[in-house]
Amino acid sequence: MSNPGVTNQVMQWVETRLPIFSFINHSVGTEYPTPRNLNYWWSLGSIAGVALVLQIVTGIVLAMHYVPHADMAFESVEHIMRDVNYGWMMRYLHSNGASLFFVAVYIHMFRGLYFGSYKAPRELLWWFGILIFLAMMATAFMGYVLPWGQMSFWGATVITNMFTAIPIVGEAVTTWLWGGYSVAGPTLQRFFSLHYLLPFVIFALMFIHLWALHTSKSNNPLGIDVKSEKDTLPFHPYFTTKDLVGFGVFFIILAYWVFFNPNYMGHPDNYIPANPLVTPAHIVPEWYFLPFYAILRAVPDKLGGVALMLGAILILFVIPWLDTSRVRSATFRPIYSKFFWIFVVNGLILGWVGANPAEGSFILIGRIATAYYFAHFILVMPIVGWFEKPKPLPDSIAASVLGDDTAKEAK
Amino acid sequence: MSVQIIKNASRIFAVTAALVLTATVAAASGGGGPALKTQKWSFNGPMGTYDRAQVQRGYQVYSEVCAGCHSLKYVRFGNLLDIGFSEAQAKAVAAEYEAEDGPDDDGEMFMRPARLSDALPAPFANDKAARASNNGALPPDLSLIAKARVGGADYVYTLLTGYSDAPAGHEVAEGMEYNAWFPGTQIAMAPPLSDDGIEYVDGTAATADQQAKDVGAFLMWAAEPKLEDRHRTGLKTMIFLIILTILFWLVKRRVWRDAH
Ligand code: HEM
């Protein structure tokens, strides 16, 4: 209960009844020891948190003016864009914010992959990250349906149709999801309800994610454990100020898209009102789904495609055990670090294939890239980890950051 | 440390750039047909604004030519103030049209002169009527057309000036026109513009090309009326954010000074 930071009488009164100040201090304050060598890749987690808050705030404002009805949704969005004060800004912040949220989370995940942050003792932390990712995908997908443009409608049709692939009950499940016999008004209305709900689920998951983080503490670029206090710095003021720099950069990038290029990441067809009678030439999802869309279409069989796409995410749950390496950080893994970058490029190729119609050479490229995606986890991770000889690890974080002499002196 | 920052920042940009590239490929692969005839629009670029005179001419083209077939339902007469019409001018324009109102005390709908708060009237009562007058084809509402097509205003301009005779061996169906930029190359809209088809109030020579450009700019304004506001707010926001970020960075350096 004793907290050196709490000197004010009122704060003390609160503190003895609800230890909120020591809670904050233990979470992001001077009493949360953080590896001193964290680089800016470690800012992406808190940036994702800021992005989530931004989505919730702008989303609540949009929901004050949006009408979840098949005949009025499109018009209500135009009303927001034209008549609501700063409505255009709220909408562009929300749509571009969603994209940058995914950018942040993808970088965050690749950071974890590179530095072995999923390995013991952080498996559950990693798991809750994947759950967040799944919830984000569901939220973003349903959000994209809300403006009720052509891509909204047809994207929803393609994705919900995947459920018909489930053996026996598929048709029934899909009808139940739609609230009818096709994507229509009832679908829109329930998607709106769920789209409003899920961000709060993500918020809760994020707290569990952070709880796990604060139990095992942050990994670091060296991937070695914290051995003494010299390896760490208090979260505040060191990492609060460092994260602020990250927030600044994030908002600058966001502002560029919102103010100077707001429709670039969207699809022009979504400015055409939904029309069940006219199918767009190419139905493409938002960019952040493209790699998974490519995996879905890599298999000629519907059920197979759906299973593989789901598998592409679910496989992330088992990588703590597929990775057989003794060391965490790929910095010390001369062979695996190469494979890591091949995997990144492979992911970009999948995204590119997903953006194009499934025809000609795209089919073959898509299949090879899909196979490689899984091979990375199923073959590369266990095999390379097993025979690769890691480079020697430094004695400690302090020794590596401060140089050997200072570290010894400090002893 | 600062080398590290630059290295990290450049990596972040590299990854973002790669993602953007993927998106570009996605966007580019959407459109068919030959390259668009891209124009130097005044609204292009981060500080672009609408050329009032041009957009007003574009409105004239719309109201005298396109409005015979195309509605513009998200634009109200009052919005004309944004493109430089005075209130009296906009009211005078509105008064030339009638809008349905009611029901009155007898329960009847009635027509009255349009007001600034009324939307521009649609040429047809409904889609069926629009199709019936256009060989079965539906002239789309133009309010958002400049955002609903790859290329935007460039597409509108190119489409309107893109009519030509069909190349040899190319069948063009009855009532259709050949236009290389329209998906499928056969369009149900007859070439709407001709040299001196209208007479500009500001005296500009009304070539078909000029009209196409002006109506392109007008339709961009109709689709994105808040563009100027967005650019202005964007500039201020950027300046603020960049200064703020530099301050954050200085604070961070100060805090970390003794930690290395
Ligand atoms: C709503 C989305 C998310 C938020 C707000 C979020 C937030 C955070 C924060 C604030 C941290 C600590 C700072 C850091 O290490 O960057 C963190 C760490 C972590 N997150 Fe997330 N996260 C999200 C999604 C994910 C996802 C999708 C994954 C992976 C599947 C993931 C995996 C991890 C891991 C493994 C760590 C520990 C990293 C380390 O210490 O090396 N997170 N997260």
User: What string of H, E and C letters represents the secondary structure of A241-295?
Assistant: HHHHHHHHHHHHHHHHHHHHCCCCCCCHHHHCECCCCCCCCCCCCCHHHHHHHHH
User: Alpha-carbon distance B49 to B41, whole Å?
Assistant: 9
Q: Is the pLDDT of residue B121 over 80?
A: yes
Q: Is the pLDDT of residue B25 over 50?
A: no
Looking at residue B89, its pLDDT comes to 96
Closest-lying ligand 1 atom to the alpha carbon of residue A130: 30
Looking at residue A386, its pLDDT comes to 97
Q: What are the domain boundaries of chain B?
A: 34-75+136-225, 76-118, 228-260
* Minimum CA–CA partner of B152 in chain A: A268
Looking at residue A410, its pLDDT comes to 44
Q: Is the pLDDT of residue B21 over 80?
A: no
User: Alpha-carbon distance B238 to B241, whole Å?
Assistant: 5
Mutation to probe ligand 1, out of A28, A103, A107, A108 (largest number of atoms < 8 A from CB): A108
- For testing contact with chain B, the best of A101, A102, A287, A359 (most B CBs within 10 A): A287
Closest CA to B245 of A255, A93, A108, A41: A255
Closest CA to A401 of A137, A220, A209, A146: A220
pLDDT 10s digits, B82-111: 999 999 999 999 999 999 999 999 999 999
Q: Is A290 an interface residue toward B (CB < 8 Å)?
A: yes
Mark yes or no for CB contact B230/A259 under 8 Å: yes
Q: Is A286 an interface residue toward B (CB < 8 Å)?
A: no
Lowest mean pLDDT among A17-31, A396-410, B146-160, B237-251: A396-410
Mark yes or no for CB contact B147/A252 under 8 Å: no
pLDDT 10s digits, A352-404: 999 999 999 999 999 999 999 999 999 999 999 999 999 999 999 999 988 75
* Minimum CA–CA partner of A244 in chain B: B248
Q: Is A342 an interface residue toward B (CB < 8 Å)?
A: no
Asked if the bond preceding A382 is cis, omega within 30° of 0, the reply is: no
Q: Is A245 an interface residue toward B (CB < 8 Å)?
A: yes
Give B202's contacts (C-beta < 8 A, 6+ positions apart): B53, B56, B57
User: Alpha-carbon distance A347 to A292, whole Å?
Assistant: 9
Better pLDDT: B165 or B5: B165
Closest CA to A99 of B19, B230, B237: B19
Looking at residue A180, its pLDDT comes to 96
Burial classification of residue B104, based on how many CB atoms lie within 10 Å of its CB (0-12 exposed, 13-18 middle, 19 or more buried): exposed
User: Alpha-carbon distance A364 to B18, whole Å?
Assistant: 22
Looking at residue A407, its pLDDT comes to 47
Indicate the length of chain A as a whole number. 411
Mark yes or no for CB contact A260/B234 under 8 Å: yes
Fold of B34-75+136-225: Cytochrome Bc1 Complex; Chain D, domain 2 (1.10.760)
Q: Is B178 an interface residue toward A (CB < 8 Å)?
A: no
Closest CA to A273 of B30, B214, B14, B147: B147
> Closest partner residue to B245 among A41, A248, A281, by Cβ?
A248
Q: Is B252 an interface residue toward A (CB < 8 Å)?
A: yes
Distance A209 CA to ligand 1 centre (A): 7
Looking at residue A87, its pLDDT comes to 98
pLDDT 10s digits, A143-181: 999 999 999 999 999 999 999 999 999 999 999 999 999
Span A228-233, average pLDDT: 95
Q: Is the pLDDT of residue B57 over 70?
A: yes
pLDDT 10s digits, A179-202: 999 999 999 999 999 999 999 999
Closest-lying ligand 1 atom to the alpha carbon of residue A48: 5
User: Alpha-carbon distance A51 to A33, whole Å?
Assistant: 25
Mark yes or no for CB contact A268/B150 under 8 Å: yes
User: Alpha-carbon distance A82 to A343, whole Å?
Assistant: 44
Q: Which 3 state secondary structure label does DSSP give A189?
A: helix
Mark yes or no for CB contact A237/B255 under 8 Å: yes
Distance A164 CA to ligand 1 centre (A): 33
pLDDT band (50, 70, 90) for residue A7: confident
Show the ligand 1 pocket: residues with CB < 6 angstroms.
Answer: A 42, 44-46, 48-49, 52, 105, 108-109, 112, 115, 117-118, 122, 125-126, 129-130, 132-133, 202, 206, 209, 213, 218-219, 316
Strands B110-113 and B98-101: antiparallel
Burial classification of residue A150, based on how many CB atoms lie within 10 Å of its CB (0-12 exposed, 13-18 middle, 19 or more buried): buried
Q: How far apart are the CA of A86 and the nearest CA of chain B, in angstroms?
A: 9
**Residues of A acting as catalytic residues:** 214, 218, 242-243, 286
Chain B, 68 to 127: residues with Cβ < 8 Å from chain A are 74
Looking at residue B6, its pLDDT comes to 47
